[in-house]
A and B are shown apart, each in its own frame.
Chain A
Amino acid sequence: MGDWKTITVPVLSSDSKNIFQYTSEKKISPSSMNSQVLRLPLPSSKTMHGFFSAFCTEENIEQSISYLDRELTTLGFPSVYAESKGKELNLISIINCMNELLVLQHKNLRAQEEIELQHLKLGSDMEHLQNCYAKLKEQLELSKREIVGLQERDRQLQSKNRNLHQLLKNEKDEVQKLQNIISSRATQYNHDMKRKEREYNKLKERLHQLVMNKKDKKIAMEVLNYVGRADGKRGAWRTDKTEARNEEEMYKVLLSDYEQRQKQLLVENAELKKVLQQMKKEIISLLPPQKQKPKERSEDGPVLSDLEEDIGELNKENMWELSCETVREQLTNSIRKQWRMLKNHVEKLDNQVSRVCSGALNEKDVISREDHELETEKLELEIQQCKEMIRTQQQLLQQQLMSPCDDDTTLILQDCYLLEERERLQEEWRLFREQKKNFEKERRSFTEAAIRLGLERKAFEEDRGTWLKQQFLSMSTDCKHSENVTAPSAFLGSSDQDNQLAISTSQQRKPHRMLSVPVSAESCQTTQYLTHNSAASKTPAGDSKPNQGVESDKEAVE
């Protein structure tokens, strides 16, 4: 559509500037379309007329027709003229062309709408993206700064760490040095000590010699009398025998001590072996029986069966009596193995339990996720459907707008927004009129019924009066029923008019009751009308019929 040429038709008035704008705008490049919102100026009827008069006047009909023909043929439409060179116009083709042009116009307008929409969308998208971009840029800046800060911190910490390592190394070196110093000093000290000690020993020897040589008679023991030995025995000479005996005794002492200790250890050992046995049995009992055997059988069959037999033998009660190395090893190994199996078993159980606990949670999560996904899918579908609906509705709107421009239709178009409401109102008016008619019918029937009822009542009252008179006459002789009778009779005895009045009042009460029945406004009106009628006619209405009438009214309304 962008290749429309500007038309310079001479007789165009200012009203046709719209067209200029319109056509010139068509040449605008797509980039500048973003900033401008294209509008579809629906020309008013006046301008349209003006436009039409500007192009073709009575003078240049031929020219304008030929011009139009040229344009149309260039656009691919059939020629306006009836024949190729004649001046007779082919009305049908003109009309067709017009129609085609209108269709084209519609299409173009629709396309324009679409483009405008897209344009708007793109505009908003652009804005949004720009905002996002700006935000992301900010975030990037922030994170960059953060990174720089963290890097700085990291560097500081690393340098600190290095310093600390260095310090530690220095300290360690110092410690090593000090230790070396200490050891060297210790050796030096020992050396010195030894030297001094040797000197001291020499002195001691010398002194000893001197002391011994002096043969100091002072060094003696004076005792009144020698005391007997503690154990009463006499002193014996020191001989080899005694030496041997001493040795023997010493060894005896040692041996007895060792024996005692060995006994204790044996007892302890036996107890521990018992405990191990018990533990082994309990472990075996705790372990699930299936797991044990297949594992063992998976290995070499015959060899293991031997081992098993041995272990079985070991499990016997008298096992603890054996205490050779291999048996001990086997026992401990078997216990260790079984303990490990038990441990694995317990760990497995723990894992299962924890898995069950978390599994429940996982399932919940999974379900909720699935639900969530389903829901989102549903929502998406709904959204799509709604979108489609909107689109179709828009299209319909467009079509409606593009429909032929009659006066009535323009009026309708002008009032297009109120169309629905109008139709609704019309419907309601129709209904209302129907109801009105119905009510009129009912009213008429009602009044007729009321009149009939009144007449019947009159007759009834006359009959009643005569019957009562008869009764009274019969009753006047009887005094017992006088009171009972008088009340009603007093009531009745006044006059028929009183009766009628009473009855009428009682009857009049009933229409009021009828009023209290909840009915729609229309029926209320009708009932009031009824009461008015009844009051006017001064005929008491009966019980049943007015109610029926009301009911029928009610039915009519509903």
Chain B
Amino acid sequence: MDFSELFKLSGLLGRFSPDGKCLASCVQFRLVVRDASTLQVLQLYTCLDQIQYIEWSSDSLFILCAMYKRGIVQVWSLEQPDWHCKIDEGSAGLVASCWSPDGRHILNTTEFHLRITVWSLCTKSVSYIKYPKACQQGIAFTKDGRYMAVAERRDCKDFISIFVCSDWQLLRHFDTETQDLFGIEWAPNGCVLAAWDTCLEYKILLYSLDGRLLSTYRAYEWSLGIKSIAWSPSSQFLAIGSYDEKVRILNHVTWKKITEFEHPATIANTKTIVYKEVEKSPSVETERLSLPPTRALASSLFSTHSKYNIPNAVWIWDIQKLKLFVVLEQLCAVQSFQWDPRQPRLAVCTGNSKVYLWSPAGCVAVQVPLEGDFQIVSLSWHASGDSMALLGKDNFCMCYLEREEIK
């Protein structure tokens, strides 16, 4: 395992390009584009204000930098460093900005979620989407980039609009039976849209691409409900994490619960392996789910992390056997974890200067051999799975993994 030297970073904005060639990082108002393997500076751009958000276009040719305070989005081209583009929202304000899947449109969400403006880089046309819903995941693109689902709210009722990304034509518009729609997410196959309600209600609705309600699932009433969901890469399973510290898995044929996983404070089953770091300490909330990518074989592992009561543990479940596989118990609260894009390997960071790697073969904790107080807050895998960007508050470094690293 090789580590690069530390580079400056601000706002945890370190992103690999989709093609894996470059790494973009922000330092205050500068955007630095480096080569992913050599970390040589390829380009350097200067923005008008402190950058709050950057995103690569899908073809890795453009980067957008959003400055919410100023309400400006600047787009830079890698092919032509001289090319520039600035979108000013003015008094409308800017709350969120993202690329469209084709990499030629930018969707800006104005302040108070008044509207979503679709700016085109190819044409002079501008589209507006009214009444977008002010929720965590209000916009969802299908994996193939054809369709976009937008959550809307009119007259105290929730709606979902499905647009065709190629011409931004409204395909379907339907209402949802939710109290307060919290988020929407497409299945990887692009045919099912999951929409879930606010945490006061445990309700998840599954809609087909053409807007039909396929199924509703409610686990219980009254208690706090869904926190987050995750689709399995094959679209066969939908994992729902809720506030009752359980993960429920639905199958795509019947949309009924297959099983539920608990996250007890003590593990009774002796077959689960618990990797434990020596020491302990508490922390705060959110529950995150993530599924590793698949290959020919069905994915068999997925990890959950419950920060509510057990913030130091990452639970890895075996889907084939439907039981707990491994628990990684860390000393400090887990800050972020991510699956290797190519293989079942999980990288975990807990805010100290160590990076933890787990694979079915074993677990390893690697101390970053750099001077200074480098605390890893977030990490991001390279698309090839050979390297990893470890992001800290003010710095970041690259971690290069050998092919047969973990044994």
B401 at the interface (CB under 8 A from A): no
A303 at the interface (CB under 8 A from B): no
User: Is A221 within 8 A of B112, CB to CB?
Assistant: no
Type the 1/0 row for B167-207, where 1 means its CB is closer than 8 Å to any CB of A. Answer: 11101000000011000000001110000000010000000
B210 at the interface (CB under 8 A from A): yes
Interface positions, chain B 57-83, Cβ under 8 Å from A, are: 58-59, 62, 75, 77, 82-83
Which of A197, A227, A238 lies in contact with B121, CB distance below 8 A?
Answer: A227
User: Is B85 within 8 A of A230, CB to CB?
Assistant: no
User: Is A208 within 8 A of B104, CB to CB?
Assistant: no
Type the 1/0 row for B98-131, where 1 means its CB is closer than 8 Å to any CB of A. Answer: 0000111000000010110001111111100000
With A226-B122, A257-B189 already in contact, the answer to whether A251 and B210 are too (CB < 8 A) is yes
User: Chain A's nearest CB lies how many Å from the CB of B125?
Assistant: 8
With A186-B200, A216-B90, A227-B121 already in contact, the answer to whether A253 and B190 are too (CB < 8 A) is yes
B164 at the interface (CB under 8 A from A): yes
User: Chain A's nearest CB lies how many Å from the CB of B201?
Assistant: 9
User: Chain B's nearest CB lies how many Å from the CB of A215?
Assistant: 10
Which of B85, B90, B112, B222 lies in contact with A222, CB distance below 8 A?
Answer: B85
User: Chain B's nearest CB lies how many Å from the CB of A412?
Assistant: 97
Residues of A within 8 A of B42 (CB): none
Type the 1/0 row for A258-293, where 1 means its CB is closer than 8 Å to any CB of B. Answer: 000100010000000000000000000000000000
Residues of A within 8 A of B85 (CB): 221-224
A59 at the interface (CB under 8 A from B): no
**CA–CA, A190 and B75, complex, Å:** 42
**CA–CA, A220 and B90, complex, Å:** 8
User: Is A230 within 8 A of B102, CB to CB?
Assistant: yes
User: Is B122 within 8 A of A216, CB to CB?
Assistant: no
User: Is A227 within 8 A of B104, CB to CB?
Assistant: yes
* Nearest A residue (CB) for B80: A224
Residues of A within 8 A of B77 (CB): 227
Which of A219, A227, A243, A253 lies in contact with B122, CB distance below 8 A?
Answer: A227
Type the 1/0 row for A199-227, where 1 means its CB is closer than 8 Å to any CB of B. Answer: 00100100110010010101111111111
Residues of B within 8 A of A247 (CB): 171
B30 at the interface (CB under 8 A from A): no
* Nearest A residue (CB) for B75: A223
**CA–CA, A198 and B157, complex, Å:** 11
A246 at the interface (CB under 8 A from B): yes
With A194-B156, A254-B191 already in contact, the answer to whether A211 and B210 are too (CB < 8 A) is no
User: Is A242 within 8 A of B59, CB to CB?
Assistant: no
Interface positions, chain B 232-263, Cβ under 8 Å from A, are: 253
User: Is B169 within 8 A of A238, CB to CB?
Assistant: yes
B92 at the interface (CB under 8 A from A): yes
**CA–CA, A204 and B84, complex, Å:** 33
Residues of A within 8 A of B156 (CB): 194, 197-198, 201
Type the 1/0 row for A169-198, where 1 means its CB is closer than 8 Å to any CB of B. Answer: 000000000010011001000100110011
The residue among B114, B146, B155, B166 with the most chain A CB atoms within 10 A of its own CB is B166
**CA–CA, A194 and B156, complex, Å:** 6
**CA–CA, A186 and B225, complex, Å:** 14
A294 at the interface (CB under 8 A from B): no
User: Chain A's nearest CB lies how many Å from the CB of B75?
Assistant: 8
Residues of A within 8 A of B386 (CB): none
A228 at the interface (CB under 8 A from B): yes
Residues of A within 8 A of B155 (CB): 198, 201
With A221-B87, A221-B119, A224-B82 already in contact, the answer to whether A254 and B104 are too (CB < 8 A) is no
A1 at the interface (CB under 8 A from B): no
User: Is B191 within 8 A of A218, CB to CB?
Assistant: no
With A194-B156, A228-B122, A238-B169 already in contact, the answer to whether A246 and B164 are too (CB < 8 A) is yes
The residue among A198, A204, A229 with the most chain B CB atoms within 10 A of its own CB is A229
Residues of B within 8 A of A219 (CB): 88-92
* Nearest B residue (CB) for A233: B166
User: Is B171 within 8 A of A254, CB to CB?
Assistant: no
User: Chain A's nearest CB lies how many Å from the CB of B207?
Assistant: 12
With A223-B121, A227-B121, A230-B59 already in contact, the answer to whether A246 and B171 are too (CB < 8 A) is yes
User: Chain B's nearest CB lies how many Å from the CB of A154?
Assistant: 37
Type the 1/0 row for B256-293, where 1 means its CB is closer than 8 Å to any CB of A. Answer: 00000000000000000000000000000000000000
B209 at the interface (CB under 8 A from A): yes
Residues of B within 8 A of A228 (CB): 122
**CA–CA, A380 and B209, complex, Å:** 98
A236 at the interface (CB under 8 A from B): yes
User: Is A246 within 8 A of B86, CB to CB?
Assistant: no
**CA–CA, A194 and B91, complex, Å:** 27
User: Is A229 within 8 A of B146, CB to CB?
Assistant: no
**CA–CA, A225 and B84, complex, Å:** 8
With A224-B83, A227-B104, A230-B104 already in contact, the answer to whether A218 and B91 are too (CB < 8 A) is yes
User: Is A250 within 8 A of B171, CB to CB?
Assistant: yes
User: Chain B's nearest CB lies how many Å from the CB of A5?
Assistant: 102
Residues of B within 8 A of A483 (CB): none
* Nearest A residue (CB) for B142: A253
The residue among A194, A197, A219 with the most chain B CB atoms within 10 A of its own CB is A219
User: Is B169 within 8 A of A226, CB to CB?
Assistant: no
Residues of B within 8 A of A317 (CB): none
Interface positions, chain B 13-52, Cβ under 8 Å from A, are: none
User: Chain B's nearest CB lies how many Å from the CB of A220?
Assistant: 6
Residues of A within 8 A of B122 (CB): 226-229, 235
Which of A183, A193, A231 lies in contact with B102, CB distance below 8 A?
Answer: A231
The residue among A179, A221, A254 with the most chain B CB atoms within 10 A of its own CB is A221
B208 at the interface (CB under 8 A from A): yes
User: Is A257 within 8 A of B210, CB to CB?
Assistant: no
Residues of A within 8 A of B120 (CB): 235
User: Is A257 within 8 A of B112, CB to CB?
Assistant: no
12 contacts between A and B (CB under 8 A): A193-B180, A211-B114, A216-B91, A218-B88, A218-B91, A223-B75, A223-B85, A224-B82, A226-B123, A227-B122, A246-B169, A249-B164
Chain B contact residues, CB within 8 Å of chain A = 58-59, 62, 75, 77, 82-92, 102-104, 112, 114-115, 119-126, 146-147, 155-156, 164, 166-169, 171, 179-180, 189-191, 200, 208-210, 222, 253
**8 tightest A-B contacts by CB?**
A218-B90, A219-B90, A257-B191, A223-B85, A216-B90, A230-B102, A246-B164, A221-B87
